[in-house]
Amino acid sequence: MPDGRGSLVYHVLTDGKTVLPLPESQDHKRALDNDEGPNTGGMGAYSPAPVLDHMLRTKAMKEVMIPAVQGMAKEGTPFKGVLYAGLMVNKDKIKVLEFNTRLGDPETQPILMRLKNDLVPLMEACCNGTLHQHAVEIDPRAAVCVVVSAGGYPGAYEKGHAISGLDAANEIKGTMVFHAGTAMDGDSVVTSGGRVLGVTSLGDTVQQAIDTAYAACEKISFTDHFYRKDIGAKAVKRLSIPPKVGVIMGSDSDFSVMEKALAILKQFDIPYYVTVASAHRTPDQAARLASQAKEDGVQVLICGAGHAAHLAGVIAAHTTLPVLGVPIDSSALQGLDALLATVQMPPGIPVSTMAIGKSGAHNAGIFAAQIIGLSDPTVAKKLTAFKKDMAAKVQKKAASFA
């Protein structure tokens, strides 16, 4: 199972004040399949990158991109344009590898395929300081770019070979061939660089985008051309892992609390899904999620809701899986209403109720890990290490008072 580690590229547009995220993108630096061979400028990319889920995307904005833009403004050197961050994800943590002040290649090709806006007005708004008047519209589909290179790249390679099949590739639905190292020789397009073309396709799923991009690559030919055959394979692998925990929130407004549960699940490498459903507002969908969960391989459901929180109870009514309830402090009663509504279930419908708010969400994550740890020795081992680490931290605090 992928372990929640990975590097990717995150771009934002900014006028120095407003920061608008573009979709993340993951590139492939090595020349050959399975990340073998020498380093290159990039042999392909895909977007979205499943290693960066909603929680980490929010974190990347809050902890990296917005502070960077605000920091530069505060120092009297506001930055306007595209800010690129190379990020390293490690479970629930994000570190910055590098910043660039441009779009990256070939990460940009999938991003531009998913960007529904015209880029020019956005760039003008970056210059004019009017970015707050714009919203970035993203195509939810996946995009995959395969870089078609000259034989020998990243070492010595020949130039000037005629390229055939460009029109046929561009005619494939949802496909665009980006030129990187090409030139005109009379009427024909010839190679003039190492990374010659970025063949990029959209698909309803990552697999569909991969299949379409490779079908387009097959139309293209020039002397000694080559490309990696495994672009996007990591995303497909990651997406194929079934979730073991379902995290259901009564509203998206509960996210800042429920992300504490997600951080713990990430620390334990427990795959989860997170969604919004309401016993009040979407009762059929809530019931459907609950009845389906066990069949999908989910082992525990965590429900977070505020106000008169009926969510955990209704979910528990429709499943035999253990349900953990997190009362959320979103109402004038600061979570007491949600606590009573969640904990006071009638006999026959147990909901294991956590504390109100963030500490409850944190504990729900640990509790879910404990349930999974009963049949998963790897998670059980991590729980033991987690407890030891917690005890060591307390001892360190105690020592500071000695």
Region of 12-20, 172-180, 248-256, 384-392 interacting with ligand C2R (CB under 6 A): 248-256
Shorter beta-carbon distance to ligand C2R: residue 198 or 325: 325
94 binds ligand C2R (CB under 6 A): no
User: Residue from 306, 325, 365, 373 that binds ligand C2R (CB under 6 A)?
Assistant: 306
Q: Which stretch binds ligand C2R (CB under 6 A): 20-28, 82-90, 172-180, 303-311?
A: 303-311
d(CA 250, CA 245): 16
> Is residue 194 involved in binding ligand C2R (CB under 6 A)?
no
Under rule CB under 6 A, residue 250 binds ligand C2R: yes
Closest distance of CB 254 from ligand C2R, Å: 5
Per CB under 6 A, which region of 97-105, 221-229, 275-283, 319-327 contacts ligand C2R? 275-283
Helix ranges, 145-189 (H)? 166-170
Q: Which residues contact 220 (CB under 8 A, 6 or more apart)?
A: 148, 163, 164, 165, 166, 168, 169, 177, 197, 199
Q: In whole angstroms, give the CA distance from residue 178 to residue 269.
A: 37
Residue 17 binds ligand C2R (CB under 6 A): no
Q: Which of 257, 376, 233 is nearest to 306 (CA)?
A: 257
* Residue from 312, 313, 316, 294 nearest 303 by CA: 312
Could you tell me which stretch among 7-15, 110-118, 185-193, 309-317 binds ligand C2R (CB under 6 A)?
A: 309-317
Q: Which is nearer to ligand C2R, 144 or 341 (CB)?
A: 341
**320 to 359, contacts with ligand C2R by CB under 6 A?**
328, 330
Identify the CA nearest to 55 among candidates 326, 204, 355, 255. Answer: 255
Handedness of CA 393, 398, 399, 400 (dihedral sign): positive
Contact (Cβ atoms closer than 8 angstroms) between residue 37 and residue 104:
no
The window from 53-61, 81-89, 159-167, 249-257 that contacts ligand C2R (CB under 6 A) reads 249-257
CB of 135 to ligand C2R, least distance (A): 21
Strands 93-100 and 5-14: unpaired
**Binds ligand C2R (CB under 6 A): choice among 100, 253, 292, 359:** 253
Structure token pair of residue 20: 């608008």
Site string for ligand C2R, 212-231 (x = CB under 6 A): --------------------
Q: Which residue has the tokens 């998913």?
A: 114
> Strand, coil or helix: what is 296?
coil
* 305 binds ligand C2R, rule: CB under 6 A: yes
List 310, 316, 356, 379, residue binding ligand C2R (CB under 6 A):
310
Q: Which of 49, 290, 309, 354 binds ligand C2R (CB under 6 A)?
A: 309
Q: Which two tokens stand for residue 5?
A: 């580690």
Q: Tell whether residue 170 is a contact of ligand C2R (CB under 6 A).
A: no
Provide the minimum distance between the beta carbon of 370 and ligand C2R in the complex, in angstroms, as a whole number. 25
Alpha-carbon span 59 to 106, nearest angstrom: 24
- Give the span between the Cα atoms of 42 and 100, in whole angstroms: 15
Min. distance of Cβ 287 from ligand C2R in angstroms?
Answer: 11
From CA 93, how far away is CA 65, in angstroms rounded?
15
Between 143 and 341, name the residue whose CB sits nearer to ligand C2R: 341
- In this structure, what token pair is assigned to residue 225? 């051309």
Q: Which residues bind ligand C2R (CB under 6 A)?
A: 250-251, 253-254, 278-281, 305-307, 309-311, 328, 330
